[in-house]
Amino acid sequence: MIYERSALAVLIFLAFVGMTLGLSFYLGRKARSAQAYFAAGGGIHWFVNGVAFAGDYLSAASFLGICGIIAFYGYDGFLYSIGFLAGWIVALLVVAEPLKRLGKYTFADALDARFQSRGIRLAAAVSTLAVSIFYLIPQMVGAGALIQPLLDWPHWVGVLLVGTTVVMIVLTAGMVSTTYVQFIKGSLLVFFSGILTILILQRGLRVDSRPEASESQTITITADGKKLINGKPQGRGEGETDLRPVGHVSELPGGVQETGPLGPLEYLSTLADSRIVLWDKKEQKHDDGSKTITFSSREVSGDQVLRPGNHPIFRGIHSKVVTDRLEFISLMLALFGGTASLPHILIRYYTVKDQAAARKSTVVGIAVIGCFYVLTLYLGLGAMTSGALDVSDENMAAPLLARTFGAFLFAVISAIAFTTVLGTVSGLIVAASGAVVHDLLASFVRTPFSDHDKVRIGKLAAVVVGVIGMALGILFHGMNVGFLVGWAFSVAASANLPSLVMLLFWKGTTRQGIIAAILVGMTASLAWILVSGDTYVKVYGWNKADALVPFSQPGIVTIPLGFVVLVIVSLLTRPRQATA
Amino acid sequence: MGGWDHGPSTATDDQSAETSARNARYGLWLFALYCAAYAAFVLLNAFVPDSMTKRSLGGLTVSVLYGLGLIALAFVLSLVYAWMCRTNLPPKDDKTTGGAS
């Protein structure tokens, strides 16, 4: 779809970015030591840290990806919300306190507290880098997706813009400014999502009975790279056409045309009794090298929309084949275990003063994140029935929904989503650069660095990770960002969860066991993703049936694998004397 | 080994080993409770998906009610946990290290 550039949007957007950078420079003057740079001096208030948890966690994927999946497939997107929040329970109840007790800068500190081993540091550093970079991809893709409609710049410009801004934020102040950026962003995101939800409920549901609202649409990419919409060139001029915005209710209970304002629960029950039009996408390659994507409408009952199984990933739960169900279980397991293994979430435990503060900030985090995820259900369903969706871009559902309430809200929501990307990316980059300085280099270089050098190397690492992130963000253009985040969670959970949990709860864990579990978990999950059906189709453009593994989400195999490897290697390398 | 200068931090350790052990125990009980609710949700979805379209309270589908319920449960459990862990036990006399032994 072609989007109109709005001067207001550009203005609000620049104000946000300017504010973020200004804050960074201001706080940056205060952060001089390594402790201040990587862990904000341990002096962040628990409430600020709690909201910053939400800011870190509610990434572009949560906001854009989940809203997009709900808008196009209904309840399946909400499954991500449920799984993402459930992960916090693991973080709070199982790993938060011991981690805070054992570590100082990075989660390798905690793993390493008992063994003082270079090998563990190295393995943990590699997995932190792998997960951070994997998690950076969807954030960067999201940034590009946002810039397009807002400023009418190509995708890659958005990616470069985010990358550069974030590297500047991280360079100026590290964890302190990252924390305050996250705090502001987390608050704004929840606040404005709340406002959008109120507006959605005020508007209620409305039937659109125009026949053209359900007409199929096509995009054709000709052999020489031209883009045709419904057979005509894309554009606004004479003889040109553009994709029609979609998404509507075709029938309301009781045959009414409009419900008027609805209560929050009433909205969901009314929707369950309505009939709604969803959109299917089919891609066809022709012999002459051209390609047609057809979007066709499909009317379904509301209770179908509000049950899982409409999205391709989750469709398996209605099939007779058992491995298809494993796909779903596997993803839900990765979401559950992934949160507590994400490096940029783990480092946030080191920014507060003690375990009690770590606990309290997690409770605040869960409250804010939980609220937001409840709101995503309304935002997604609101977008589904808003008549404003772009059939060709799931990631745009939330901003386009906001536009139906006026240009101002559209601008604000887009700007917040963009700062969301900024915040999460800067958190990831601090985590990655901390891992490089404290763990990767520490396992090679014997002489300790001065405080000053540590900060300098950290900043250098931040630039390198930023550049890698930008390159991958451009490469993965067009994939649903929520889906990509699911992968990052799988890798995080497979690599880090077994060692974290076993170290805390099994006295027989050995150094070699931890190293083996991290490396095996990480490589196995990465390898699984690379040879899975979804990657075959979406990244390489190959046939799904040729994939080497029966389903695409690795979690259900690779997370237990990590545990098994850890236990076996630990038993084999058990010290002769009584265990420590 | 190697003289790296940032081993485990004990400077901020304000809890006795006993308090930590007690908190960990509470944490695991509550965790088991949540795990059961989450596992039931996932298995129900995977093997009896039709149960999710049934209507429950106020005309809401089971899927919506269960999903919102899981989010609410996470919040309630986090409050319960914070409340249970609110006091620190006095440190034991023979306490030597603050970390896991």
Q: Can you spell out the DSSP letters for A528-543?
A: HHHTSHHHIIIII---
Residue from A24, A125, A140, A188 nearest A432 by CA: A125
Give the closest of B24, B88, B98 to A97, CB-based.
B24
Map residue A97 onto helix, strand or coil: helix
Question: Residue A363 and residue B79: Cβ atoms within 8 Å?
Answer: yes
Residue A41 backbone class (left: φ over 0; alpha: ψ -120 to 50; beta: rest): left
Residue from A565, A448, A564, A566 nearest A34 by CA: A448
Give the closest of A101, A306, A367 to B63, CB-based.
A306
Give the closest of A116, A306, A309 to B7, CB-based.
A116
Reported confidence tier of residue B2, pLDDT bands at 50, 70, 90 = very low
B-chain residue closest to A109, CA distance: B8
CA distance A271 to A279: 17
B-chain residue closest to A76, CA distance: B63
C-alpha pair distances (Å), A150 with each of A177, A215, A309, A396, A419: 26, 27, 32, 11, 13
Map residue A285 onto helix, strand or coil: strand
Enter the pTM of the model.
0.84
Give A45: exposed, middle or buried? Use CB within 10 Å, 0-12, 13-18, 19+.
middle
Tell me what ipTM this predicted complex has.
0.83
Residue B61: φ, ψ to 5°: -75, 155
- From chain B, the residues in CB contact with A318 under 8 A are 49
Predicted pLDDT of residue A521: 92
Predicted pLDDT of residue A55: 82
pLDDT digits (tens, 9 = 90+) for B23-67: 888 888 999 999 999 999 999 888 888 887 788 777 788 888 999
Residue A186: φ, ψ to 5°: -60, -45
**pLDDT, averaged in runs of 10, over chain A (580 residues):** 72 80 72 62 75 80 84 90 89 79 70 77 85 84 75 79 80 70 84 94 88 83 81 78 84 86 90 88 83 87 85 76 81 86 76 78 90 93 89 83 86 81 78 78 69 79 87 79 77 89 84 91 90 78 78 87 93 70
Map residue A145 onto helix, strand or coil: helix
Does A353 lie at the interface with B, CB-CB under 8 angstroms?
A: yes
Does A221 lie at the interface with B, CB-CB under 8 angstroms?
A: no
CA distance A181 to A320: 48
Token pair belonging to A522: 């990480």
Q: How many CB pairs under 8 A join A and B?
A: 183
pLDDT above 70: residue B99: no
Give the closest of B1, B20, B46 to A317, CB-based.
B46
Does B48 lie at the interface with A, CB-CB under 8 angstroms?
A: no
pLDDT digits (tens, 9 = 90+) for A348-362: 777 777 778 888 888
Predicted pLDDT of residue B91: 56
Half-sphere exposure of A508 (CA within 13 A, CB side): 11
Predicted pLDDT of residue A307: 85
Predicted pLDDT of residue A21: 75
- From chain A, the residues in CB contact with B49 under 8 A are 307-309, 317-318
C-alpha pair distances (Å), A513 with each of A127, A443, A565: 15, 18, 7
Give A464: exposed, middle or buried? Use CB within 10 Å, 0-12, 13-18, 19+.
middle
B-chain residue closest to A83, CA distance: B38
User: Which positions 393-412 of A are in contact with B (Cβ < 8 Å)?
Assistant: none
Residue A60: φ, ψ to 5°: -55, -30
Does B75 lie at the interface with A, CB-CB under 8 angstroms?
A: yes
Question: Residue A308 and residue B68: Cβ atoms within 8 Å?
Answer: no
Place of tokens 């066809």: A284
C-alpha pair distances (Å), B79 with each of A42, A335, A359: 24, 22, 10
Mutation to test the A interface, candidates B14, B56, B68, B97, most A Cβ within 10 Å: B68
Give A231: exposed, middle or buried? Use CB within 10 Å, 0-12, 13-18, 19+.
exposed
Element housing A512 (H / E): helix A511-530
Residue A260 backbone class (left: φ over 0; alpha: ψ -120 to 50; beta: rest): left
Predicted pLDDT of residue A22: 80
CA distance A92 to B77: 10
Secondary structure of A244-282 as H, E, C letters = CCECEEEECHHHCCECCCCCHHHHHHHHHCCEEEEEEEE
Does A300 lie at the interface with B, CB-CB under 8 angstroms?
A: no
pLDDT above 60: residue B92: no
- From chain B, the residues in CB contact with A448 under 8 A are 3-5
Q: Which residue has the higher pLDDT, A443 or B97?
A: A443
